[in-house]
Each structure stands twice: as C-alpha cells, then as structure tokens.
Amino acid sequence: MLMVPNFRQIKVYLRVFLYSKSWFLFLMRLTGYRRLELIAIEEDAKVIKSVCLDGVYSITSPLSNRVASGQSKEVNVYELSDVIVSAYASVFERDGVLLLYNEKIKNKIRLKINGVDEVAGEYYSRASYDKFVDKALFLGGDGAFNWYHFFIECLPRIIAFKAAGLDKSIPIIVPVECKNIPQFHEALNALCFPAKLIFMEKKDRLKIKEIYLVDDFFCAPYNMRRGYFPSVSDYSVNLGFLRLFAEEFLSKIEPELKFPKRVFLARSNDRRNYNQDELIGIARKYDFEVVFPEKYSVLEQISIFAGADLIVGPSGAAWSGLIFCGSTARCLSWLPAEYSEFLCFKALSAVSGCTLNYIEALHDKEINSTGDLYGIDYRVQADVFEASLLTLIDRQ
C-alpha cells in the first residue's frame, strides 16, 4: 500500500533537500560561483624586500597564565599578480585560487575565512569585480573598518612599504573609513606617505594587475568558528616591527601636551554594557581621571598613553595605544573567562614593555562563540576591581 507523507513529513523532506550540500552547490554554479583552492601567499608571491628580521616573543595569557612563545617570522613585502581584492578581507582571489596567509590555512578548522562563501568545508566565490587597477599597495584586511584592526594590523605596513622603497606614485587601497572617520584619516596622514588613495566600500571588489602587500606580522584570530575560543597557539607577533611603527608616531607627539597620570578609559557607546559608573566611582577615590579616547585626536591619544603611569579600562580598541606606553606604566583591564587566552592586548603591552593585568568579567549568558561575546553585557565585581587597583598602585 502506497504511504502518502503527511504535511509535517513533507516539510522535513524539503528542509533536508534545501539544506543539502548538492542543492547549495547547484545554486552556486547557477549564479556564477566557483570552488576555490587554498594556496599560501608565502608560496605564490614574489618577495620584494625583507624589512624586519625575525625575533623572539613570549606573552602570558590574561587569565590562564599560559604562555605563547616562539620565533616570529621576518616581515616581507610581497608582490602578487592578477588578483581580485576587497579592502575588508585578508584574501586574494585569482582563477579558482584563494591566496591567504599560511597561518590562516593551517588554522582553518578553528577560524572562519573572511571574504568568501563556505559550504561543507569548501570555499566559493563569483570572481566578479567593479574596476581594474594596474598597480596598488594593499592597506586593508580582516576587520579594517574597526580602529584596532586598521591601526595595529593594517597601518604598520606603510613602514614596510617605505623600507622597500616602493614608488610613491603607486596608489594605496584603503577602507572607506579613511575618508569618513577623522582618526583613520589623521593616522594615515601622520605617516607621511603621499600616495593617491583608493577608497573601497565593503561591497567593492577590484582586480589588480600588480599588488604589493606585507607579511602577517601579527597573527591573531579574527572570526572563530562556533565552539572555539582564542588559544595561545593562535598567536604570533613580530614585536620589533611594531616597535618601529610605535617609534614613528612617538616622534610626532608634542611634548607640551599634558594629560592625567592616572587614566580610566571610559566607553561612551552602549555595546558591551557593564557597571562603568560604579568602577569610575572607585577609581576616582585614587585620583584616576576619566578619559573618552574617541574624543581626542590620534596624536593626543598617543600622548595620553605615553604619559600615563596607571591606566584602567574595559577591553576594546582604545587599548591600541598600549604600544606607546612607557616601560614602567601599569595597566588593568578585564575579560570574560572564555577569553582567558586572548592575547591581542597582552602582545601590545609586550611591544612597549609595560605591565597589563586582567581580572575576570562576569556574565550570565550561554556562550557558544566569540560572536556571542561581541555585544554581551557583563559585570566586574567592585571589590575585586578595587583590590586589583590597589595592587596596581602599590607596585608603581
């Protein structure tokens, strides 16, 4: 006897069909997508210049006290040919090949690859582009719209371009934030590399005949897959290269600018809300002054970090200024337990030699990914904060 499926069964069958790999692949081929083979930039690109030798790094994680250490690779300037690029992804596409840094390929089980579509562990793209450019320098990458990612992971490449002696008539690909946000524009201008700028929006794609890019001198996870959180094994950094970058900016600050010696870095937005007012009240008892970094110019922010003895505040892009601290500066921040091995700002403190301590931020949400943590509200225990603050002061 023929069994006729009921409505609920039909829905299940349709869902299985629609979400099957073969259906997705059929749709992708129909709309012009093609599968991409992953190849390391380091294997494909031509080395133009090595601008900073490798060195040793050793960084202790914030809450777990595990150590990331090793020999960082030298920083090379590369040339790639005939690739399609976005200013917001650290990948380069060419004829069915996706070029990306070797560390990202090795860690693809844990990390999402930005800038392409993924289905069942394979990567696809339509290979379309808006304009053709003969030559360009690349100053974009994963998260380039964000101040931390642009300032720490993208902008230092200008130091390498200068050292390589590249023609200053070659235009530079930058995110459109370099036109729309004053601090992005100021930071770029401060490095005195007078090239024409190609501003790209997130939807834009360019095809470049010859593009120049710089090694991944600070390897850190950008977007992690569900169920994974940062580990010390995800990080490596060329501290010497970032010191060269920091020195370039420190030489430009005005010594007559005076800022507080004890600084509380406050947030003015409502993302990742926490008991800020309560902690500010405690910090003010010990002569800390509240600073909203985004209200200052780039050079003023650098002066704040360079002149401060004690700095406290929530984890965030404002801590990019750690590379400008004096070696005797002492700092305090906080992170949730899931970020116990998040090393980005600990690495920046190693650049300047300052001390950065952490306490735990508490939340009551179920967390399954780094994305869940991005906008979550939390609380810092007031007694723990005050005790840690007093320890910071006593060790000054």
Sequence spans of domains, the chain: 42-51+76-219, 253-394
pLDDT for position 128: 84
One-letter amino acid at 174 equals V
Please say whether the beta carbons of 396 and 309 come within 8 A: yes
Task: Give pLDDT, residue 1.
Answer: 45
Determine the pLDDT at residue 12.
55
- CATH of the structural domain 253-394, one choice from 1.10.260, 1.10.10, 3.40.50, 3.30.2310: 3.40.50
Name the strand (E) or helix (H) holding 356: strand 355-360
Q: What tokens does 123 get?
A: 């990567």
In whole angstroms, give the CA distance from residue 323 to residue 344.
11
Gap between the Cα atoms of 214 and 221, Å rounded: 18
**CA terminus-to-terminus distance, the chain:** 85
- Cα dihedral 107, 108, 110, 112, rounded to 10, equals 130
pTM of the model: 0.89
For the chain, which residues score pLDDT lower than 50?
1-2
**pLDDT given for residue 394 in this prediction:** 84
Show the tokens assigned to 285: 């008892």
Using the structure block, give the residue that is written with the tokens 């070696």. Answer: 327
